[in-house]
Chain A
Amino acid sequence: MNYLELLRALLPETALVVGALLALTFDLSFGVRQSRETRLHAAVIIGTLAVVAAMFGALSAGVADAVFGGVLVLDELTLASRLGVLMLAWLTLTLTGGTARLRHPAEFVAIVLFATAGFTLMAAAQQLLVAFLALELASLSLYILAGFDKSRPESAEAALKYFLFGGMSAAFLLFGFSLIYGLTGSIELPQIAHQLARQGQSPLLSLALVMVLVAFGFKAAAAPFHLWAPDVYEGAPVVSSALIASASKLAGFTLFVRLLWPGFGPAAGSVATAAGSPGWLPLVACLSAASLLLGNFAALAQSNVRRLLAYSAIAHAGVMLLGVIVAGDAGLGPLFYYVFTYGLATIGAFAVIAVVERAGCCQKITDLAGLHRRSPLLAGCFAVYLLSLAGIPPLAGFFGKFTVFAAALNLGGLAGPAGWLALLAIALSAVALYYYLVMLKQALVVAPADPASAPVPVPADAAIVLVFTALLLVLLGLFPSVVLRIF
């Protein structure tokens, strides 16, 4: 037990928490006499500095096998996931500075930073207690962010729904953890894996795995645990939705893939052949198939932009779960690349919605009509994000899908559920392309509903987010090995 070592490993979290407290203190002491605009920008600058400091902290923490007796692990996945989450949090903060109209700007920034601290801790947790605490720190912050806009009843309703589903999934996770602890006598993942390999399957273990997977399904917004996602994406403030849809997803997948493969790997079972063998892999395959089908077909019926993005997120969760299935065989590269580039594209799409909403209304898909005349920059970037989500080469979304499907087909060809899922996902990509193109048609082809509609002004901060994400999506699509060779 070495506390200095622990402190070095937790540098990013320390930087984020100190930044959050500084933002609050600054606002309380100097902000009272300032305008709301100035307070927001001061808080965003402090928050950005904290995130940058956390990035340096994550880099300087380096790679170590087990920290503080195995409580945390600093491997390549931790480093990549921390940097990815911090980058997505930075984009969210910058977007907040550009577009948000908040009555309590410093509190908002502080809670974003607390949530980010939860995400980075989720990326490093290697013990059930730390995993649970990190998950709760992130979740509780996200509930507050979802309900932050007290002037709109939809925001509070979204927060309540998110909170109730989230609280239930946390209880399931906890009960699953307690059963795992009872079965193996340990809360540390390496010991749990060691014990599970000796014990083999038992009914109690199956129950524990189902409970953990319920919580995973909630965090990933996978069907049938997706019910919160459309309401939260629609009702929450745009910036909060962006964070919930991107960074929270990346951190959640990192946490659960670490729980499932290094922790519960001996109970994985198999989906490579048609007969398979019992374990959690067949369950994850079922979640993946349900999400793919429900997400893609329900998205066709949506007329609200944010609900459509939510259902497309459910469909993407299906592909990500396929990435979890192949992670045991092909490594974490495909999954991480897919989730990270998905997060970038989603945050970009929400940035477009935020900017359009700032200039007026952006609820229905038809509200995007004539975006190419009202703001060519917005329309161009929107096209990049949606085409990346749809998986059109050479954008990053295409390569993400390609690596995941290739790994799934490598697992056992078409002999087993993994291969069938890949085929299903490829077929449903055509459905997905349809609803993305419906949105793009409104943005790029249709003339504005009102010919005299004013151009949409793009604030400088939001323009940075838009251009940065669009560029990154193109560059990562052209040079995917930059991310893939980390693993």
Chain B
Amino acid sequence: MTPATLNDYVLISAVLFAIGFFGVLLRRNTLVIFMSLELMLVASTLALVAFSRFNGTMDGNVFVFFILTVAAAEVAVGLAIIVALFRKRHTVQVDELNTLKN
């Protein structure tokens, strides 16, 4: 079996990104949308690590550490917003969040 090339990694990360993107667009549950968002971030992480390995520079790897931290912060803020919303509306379905419409 031949070792994986840069193209394979970039392709996988693009597929992951696309899955995440369609998850955000198509799913109706806020928590699942949230997981899809994280998948999109992870896809970029994979691409960065692969590029870092094949470019021979460390910048991409350093970038990944910061992304993980930012993703954790984003989860904290996002879940807090979902909890605040659930307390008021008793739902996490996006279709039912339509008080703000003209």
Could you tell me the distance between the alpha carbons of A178 and B17 in the complex, rounded to whole angstroms? 12
Assess the B70–A144 pair: CB atoms within 8 A. no
Within 8 A of B (CB), among A154-176: 154, 156-161, 163-164, 167-168, 170-172, 174-175
| Interface of chain B, main secondary structure | helix
From A73-81, A182-190, A323-331, give the one contacting chain B: A182-190
Task: Say whether B15 faces chain A, with CB atoms less than 8 Å apart.
Answer: no
Within 8 A of A (CB), among B55-89: 55, 57, 59-60, 62-63, 66-67, 70, 73-74, 77-78, 80-82, 84-85, 87-89
Assess the A181–B59 pair: CB atoms within 8 A. yes
Chain B residues closer than 8 Å to A147, beta-carbon distance? 80-81, 84-85
| Interface of chain A, main secondary structure | helix
Task: Say whether A143 faces chain B, with CB atoms less than 8 Å apart.
Answer: yes
Q: Write the A270-313 contact mask toward B (1 if CB under 8 angstroms, else 0).
A: 00000000000000000000000000000001111001000000
Task: Say whether A179 faces chain B, with CB atoms less than 8 Å apart.
Answer: yes
Find B62's partner among A129, A154, A161, A172 (CB 8 Å cutoff). A129
Question: B93 → chain A, closest Cβ, in Å?
Answer: 12
Assess the B84–A150 pair: CB atoms within 8 A. yes
Question: A193 → chain B, closest Cβ, in Å?
Answer: 16
Assess the A156–B40 pair: CB atoms within 8 A. no
Chain B residues closer than 8 Å to A136, beta-carbon distance? 70, 73-74
Could you tell me the distance between the alpha carbons of A268 and B44 in the complex, rounded to whole angstroms? 24
Assess the B55–A185 pair: CB atoms within 8 A. yes
Find A143's partner among B21, B63, B77 (CB 8 Å cutoff). B77
Task: Say whether A13 faces chain B, with CB atoms less than 8 Å apart.
Answer: no
Assess the B43–A156 pair: CB atoms within 8 A. no
Chain B residues closer than 8 Å to A182, beta-carbon distance? 6, 10, 47, 50-51, 54-55
Assess the B74–A167 pair: CB atoms within 8 A. yes
Task: Say whether A153 faces chain B, with CB atoms less than 8 Å apart.
Answer: yes
Closest to A174 in B: B44
Assess the B81–A186 pair: CB atoms within 8 A. no
Chain B residues closer than 8 Å to A160, beta-carbon distance? 30, 81-82, 85, 97
Chain A residues closer than 8 Å to B41, beta-carbon distance? 170-171, 174
Within 8 A of A (CB), among B8-59: 10, 13, 17, 20-21, 24, 30, 33, 37, 40-41, 43-44, 47-48, 50-52, 54-55, 57, 59
Given contacts A133-B70, A147-B84, A150-B84, contact A178 B47 (CB under 8 A): yes
Question: A424 → chain B, closest Cβ, in Å?
Answer: 25
Within 8 A of B (CB), among A207-260: 230-231, 234-235
Question: B76 → chain A, closest Cβ, in Å?
Answer: 9
Find A153's partner among B59, B67, B85 (CB 8 Å cutoff). B85
Question: A157 → chain B, closest Cβ, in Å?
Answer: 5
Assess the A175–B100 pair: CB atoms within 8 A. no
Task: Say whether B102 faces chain A, with CB atoms less than 8 Å apart.
Answer: yes
Could you tell me the distance between the alpha carbons of A453 and B91 in the complex, rounded to whole angstroms? 39
Closest to B40 in A: A171
Assess the A163–B44 pair: CB atoms within 8 A. no
Could you tell me the distance between the alpha carbons of A132 and B60 in the complex, rounded to whole angstroms? 13
Given contacts A153-B88, A158-B100, contact A164 B24 (CB under 8 A): yes
Task: Say whether B99 faces chain A, with CB atoms less than 8 Å apart.
Answer: yes
Could you tell me the distance between the alpha carbons of A175 and B63 in the complex, rounded to whole angstroms? 12
Could you tell me the distance between the alpha carbons of A171 and B41 in the complex, rounded to whole angstroms? 5
List 26 A-B residue pairs with CB atoms under 8 Å apart, sorted by A's residue number: A132-B63, A133-B70, A136-B74, A143-B77, A143-B81, A153-B89, A156-B85, A159-B84, A159-B85, A160-B85, A161-B97, A163-B81, A171-B41, A171-B43, A175-B43, A177-B44, A177-B63, A178-B51, A178-B63, A181-B59, A182-B10, A182-B47, A182-B54, A182-B55, A231-B100, A301-B102
* B interface residue numbers (CB < 8 A to A): 6, 10, 13, 17, 20-21, 24, 30, 33, 37, 40-41, 43-44, 47-48, 50-52, 54-55, 57, 59-60, 62-63, 66-67, 70, 73-74, 77-78, 80-82, 84-85, 87-89, 97, 99-100, 102
